[in-house]
Amino acid sequence: MNHCRLRVLCCNVRKNVPDDALTGNAWESRRDLCADVLAEQQPDVICLQECFNEHFTYLRSRLPEFDTYGLSNTFKEYNPCNAVFFARRRFELITAGGFWLSETPHIPGSKSWESASVRFANWVQLRDHGSECEFRVTNTHLDHVSQTARENQARLIIEYANALPDDLPHLLTADFNADMSNPAIDIIKAGGWLDTHIVIHGHADPGFTFHAFLGPRFPESRPPENVKGKIDFIFCRGPIRPLAADIIRNSRNGHYPSDHYFLSADVEL
């Protein structure tokens, strides 16, 4: 049987908020660092959240060896918030698609369950040129306000995944806006998904992945509400084995590529 090893990143790159310029964290100030951190990881697949057109255009220019896919949340401007980048030299795109995390998942821009924001998921199905292994990657971002929305959005992801063949390797990356103790995460695990970080490192919480551009100073400087630690995840299900999992805490001169730490996972299909 052929095997395929790959490295996937989960990266909330932080939409460009005007107030970030006051602290030197506007996208223009950190985009070089962001691209450098991504490239240094030597990834095969990069899953982004909060990727607006300005992020997408710049990162595509810095990572020309990657092909990309991403639905846009609006159609006046292309903002592929949950874009997926995949290495052209390694993978063939078989099919791709997406859906909105709502009661009407095929209606663009729809939202339900008191979700504060429109939320949606992208997916790509890829075939590795060398091994012929085929696998799917789904990338999303759950609501940041409504717990009811987070739980129902997680259930919708489970319903979608359950329709796929059991022998299809599948990765799920997301900013869940929910820590390891949240019922939304329990729903994902009950649906057959394994947290790659737990498989490698055990159940101890590794600390915050959202850090407000403060790095290790975050919990003391600005205690979060109702969040105890890690809210970004790389899950897997099906015939896929985690080999490594890390939280990427790279910085340069006290600045970070985002207000979230990025995640990586090495897996074998």
Residue 22 banded pLDDT, cuts 50, 70, 90: very high
Residue 238 has pLDDT above 60, yes or no: yes
Q: Please give the domain boundaries of the chain with CATH numbers for all domains.
A: 5-268 (3.60.10.10)
Residue 221 has pLDDT above 60, yes or no: no
Average pLDDT for residues 196-202, to the nearest whole number?
A: 97
Alpha-carbon gap, residue 139 to 234, rounded angstroms: 9
Residue 1's pLDDT is what? 59
* pTM given for the model: 0.96
Residue 117 has pLDDT above 70, yes or no: yes
* pLDDT tens per residue across span 23-55: 999 999 999 999 999 999 999 999 999 999 999
Residue 173's pLDDT is what? 98
* pLDDT tens per residue across span 44-92: 999 999 999 999 999 999 999 999 999 987 767 888 999 999 999 999 9
Residue 229's pLDDT is what? 85
Dihedral (Cα; 105, 239, 241, 97), 10-degree rounding: -30
Q: 171, 174, 172: which is closest to 150 by C-alpha?
A: 174
Residue 75's pLDDT is what? 67
* Range from 15-24, 51-60, 151-160 carrying the lowest mean pLDDT: 15-24
